Amino acid sequence: MAFVKSEIPSAELPDIEHMKSKRRHDSLVKTALDTINENPELHTILASRATADASNAVMDAIDDAAMQLIADLRSQGLVLCKNLARVWVCEELEKQVRAINNFYAGSALANCESKSNVCRAANISPAAFAKHWTEAEKIQQATDEADKTGKPVSTTLGGQPFDVYPPTSPDAQ
């Protein structure tokens, strides 16, 4: 399977529109996700293409953060080697990524995606939903409330205070 790198800036990539028929929308999404999950070679290619730039940026950011951590510790009279500083930063980032993942799963639910398709996107069984995304339903509820009231809703995400804002326009999702 050949791929051509998209020349469209990521901010301009169109999202699929929700169709008049939720069943049709769910069916198309299910087909795409099942195709990815059932074809290891395709999955590997798509995962590499989708994450290569982000992975490089994250590694650079980890190095920068590790150096800042070392400098901050030195100012307190403490010493930490670069490799352990990287491990510490990675652990903290992993918590943040888990929270972001919960946010996106909750946002997908609030925007009418089915739990089954959210699970397919992570290649997990629907039975594992609540264990995998411990805060997604809370984010979905906060998003629904923000949409309904037009005002931000305060909640927590990853143990930290977090505000969910209503869309800025009727078309925002």
- What pLDDT, in 10s, does the model give residues 100-132? 999 999 999 998 899 999 999 999 999 999 999
Task: State mean pLDDT over 13-28.
Answer: 71
Distance CA 53, CA 9 (A): 14
- What pLDDT, in 10s, does the model give residues 40-74? 999 999 999 989 989 999 999 999 999 999 999 99
Which residue in 97, 105, 159 sits closest to 129, CA to CA?
105
Task: State mean pLDDT over 1-20.
Answer: 52
- Environment class of 102 (CB within 10 Å of its CB; exposed 0-12, middle 13-18, buried 19+): buried
Q: pLDDT-based confidence at 14, cuts 50/70/90?
A: low
Amino acid 12: pLDDT: 54
Q: Which two tokens stand for residue 98?
A: 């888990």
Which residue in 139, 117, 112 sits closest to 129, CA to CA?
117
